[in-house]
Amino acid sequence: MPASSPQHAGPESEATAPGPSPAGEVKPRVRVAVAGIAGRMGREVGRAIHADPDCVLVGAVDVAPHAQGRDAGQLAGVGELGVPVCASLAEMWESAHPEVLVDFTIAPAAFVNAQAALERGVSPVIGTTGLTADQVETLRRLASERATGAFIAPNFSIGAVLMMVFARQAARYLPEVEIIELHHEKKVDAPSGTALRTAQLILETRGLRMAQRPSQEDVRLEGARGGDLEGIRIHSVRLPGYVAHQEVIFGGHAQTLTIRHDSTDRTSFMPGMLLAVKRVRSLSGLVVGLENLLDLE
């Protein structure tokens, strides 16, 4: 017996709305599928989609052996929803008809999943990091050809987006900067998508001014000065105990400015993810970055 409330019943009830809007119109809920539902982020996304009255979880995919044959609601810890975890997208398309596919898997899978979604007119919302610039351009082209909204966010937390916006502002006055990002020990890609995006935003602001500062350094251990993106040093720390953290440190004459953001729990990513899920169908083509969905003026 499904444990879901009438408001959050499984896929068969997709036409049911959470209730009449003030104008008396019934607003259909967004039909969402999640790729990577058994992962750390996927389970949190499953919980957040289920708890949101404007969304309904209709499909779930994961390749993890322990997820096969399970119910997505059980994996997410919200009780049975009648949404089976499928081993492949092809299987999921047969049992569910999502409008939006939220992806928190690994980069190669996210790229393939997003292409498959766009081919079917389903809007991908990609939280998975590590996609290459070429892959992003391919998705941009496909989204435009299919006239389907698509969204990628290297970071869904509002505080991290503000950190990037403030870093971009500071770079106008303090162009010399290094980035330290700190994540849990199971994170696969380095540096983080957030660190790369922050560096790219800073580079757009300052251009290549002071980018290749001539160095007299005597580096005694390879990698000690971090990775180098057009002159911006990025340092990646991986340790148990961290979730997702970043410091952007600007140096100027006799002063430094540190902008730091900490995600101490994965729930910090959920409001941004839900915003993207609700907005992605109205986007024209691919949009990258949560800052583009927020009113930051």
Residue 40 makes contact with ligand NAP by CB under 6 A = yes
Which pair of structure tokens corresponds to residue 237? 């720390």
Q: Given candidates 41, 49, 58, 202, which one binds ligand NAP under the rule CB under 6 A?
A: 41
Based on CB atoms, which residue is closest to ligand NAP, 191 or 231?
Answer: 191
In this chain, which residue has its C-beta nearest to ligand NAP?
39
| Spatial distance between the Cα atoms of 139 and 222, rounded to a whole number of angstroms | 35
- The binding track of 154-193 with respect to ligand NAP, each residue x by CB under 6 A or -, is xxx------------------------------x------
Smallest gap, in angstroms, from Cβ of residue 18 to ligand NAP?
26
Contact 198, 164 (CB under 8 A): yes
Radius of gyration of the chain (CA): 21
- The binding track of 235-264 with respect to ligand NAP, each residue x by CB under 6 A or -, is ---------x--------------------
Catalytic residue among 8, 50, 187, 261: 187
Placement of tokens 């089976």 in the chain: 84
Placement of tokens 């500071």 in the chain: 170
Based on CB atoms, which residue is closest to ligand NAP, 105 or 198?
Answer: 105
Say how many C-beta atoms besides its own lie within 10 A of residue 140's C-beta.
16
Judged by CB under 6 A, the stretch of 11-19, 100-108, 114-122, 229-237 that binds ligand NAP is: 100-108
Q: How many residues bind ligand NAP, per CB under 6 A?
A: 26
> Could you report how far apart the first and last alpha carbons of the chain are, in Å?
49
Residues 55-74 that bind ligand NAP (CB under 6 A): 61-64
Cβ density class 220-242: b for 16+ within 10 Å, e for less: eeeeeebbebebbbbbbeeeeeb
Q: Which residues contact 84 (CB under 8 A, 6 or more apart)?
A: 60, 69, 70, 71, 72, 95
Residue 231 makes contact with ligand NAP by CB under 6 A = no
**What is the binding site for ligand NAP (CB under 6 A)?**
35-36, 38-42, 61-64, 104-106, 109, 127-130, 153-156, 187, 244, 269
Annotated active-site positions, please? 183, 187
